């Protein structure tokens, strides 16, 4: 069997609908490693936010922050922070629009407001911890991703002003990720496979949401979870079962990887 490089998204892919790692997924990853495959994570989360998952699965390679922070076997090989001047301008514009903004670094993420209904509405249903408050968190440190809590109707105003330097990827009705233009999981994976000497056509990736689309299109074997958005399923080469129905195990078996 050929040795493969396999990337897994986290939320809705590795983690089920209760934000837990299914036993079948843990077993599947262990089987992959025993067979000599290389396993990595590709997520929108910051490194600190999935440390426990990496430790449970024994994974030390990952593409995080939607491709802006890449680690290969414990070594940081690529970082792509947002220009501080652009963050300053984005912050001022968000304040004018009365939209909260969140700053994400490698060690933490902070909001520029103490509390806001839109933040609660997007984070609580996803069972994510609410960020802390620090309106100056973006000063004097690298910020790899921002989140602006704006609606789809409000987003065109941001695109008009920041479309050139920034990229917007919506993940909730009132929240959109903001990356450096050209940033994506696919771009991070490109840096990863270049460093690792892997063949892109033989790389496998599993995902379920909008920020996984470019990744699944980029690799040779893109797999959509059964619970993935229809837009994701349409572009994926394969579709496996729902994450809650042993979707990872099933997909890997269908691909003949375990």
Q: Distance (Å, rounded) from C-alpha 173 to C-alpha 100? A: 14
Distance CA 76, CA 106 (A): 11
- Nearest Cα residue to 175 out of 133, 134, 118, 124: 118
Q: Which residues contact 126 (CB under 8 A, 6 or more apart)?
A: 11, 172
- Residues annotated catalytic, as ranges: 9
Name the region of 65 (left: φ>0; alpha: ψ -120 to 50; beta: rest). Answer: left
Cα–chain center distance at 177: 10
């Amino acid at each position: 069997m050929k040795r493969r490089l396999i990337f897994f998204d986290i939320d809705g892919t590795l983690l089920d609908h209760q934000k837990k790692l299914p036993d079948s997924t843990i077993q599947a990853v262990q089987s992959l490693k025993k067979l000599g495959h290389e396993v990595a994570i590709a997520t929108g989360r910051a490194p600190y936010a999935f440390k426990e998952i990496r430790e449970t699965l024994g994974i030390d390679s990952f593409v995080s922050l939607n491709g802006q922070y890449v680690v290969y076997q414990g070594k940081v090989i690529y970082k792509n922070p947002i220009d501080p001047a652009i963050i300053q301008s984005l912050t001022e514009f968000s304040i004018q629009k009365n939209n909260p903004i969140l700053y994400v670094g490698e060690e933490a993420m902070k909001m520029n407001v103490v509390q806001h209904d839109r933040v609660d509405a997007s984070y609580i249903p996803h069972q994510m911890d609410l960020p802390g408050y620090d309106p100056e968190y973006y000063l004097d440190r690298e910020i790899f991703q921002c989140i602006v809590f704006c609606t789809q109707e409000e987003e065109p105003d941001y695109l008009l002003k920041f479309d050139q330097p920034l990229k917007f990827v919506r993940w909730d009705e009132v929240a959109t990720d903001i990356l450096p233009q050209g940033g994506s999981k696919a771009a991070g994976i490109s840096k990863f496979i270049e460093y690792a000497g892997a063949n892109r056509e033989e790389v496998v990736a599993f995902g379920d949401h909008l920020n996984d689309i470019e990744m699944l299109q980029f690799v040779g074997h893109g797999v959509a979870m059964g619970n993935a958005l229809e837009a994701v399923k349409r572009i994926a080469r394969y579709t496996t079962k729902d994450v809650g129905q042993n979707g990872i195990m099933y997909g890997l078996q269908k691909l003949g990887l375990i």
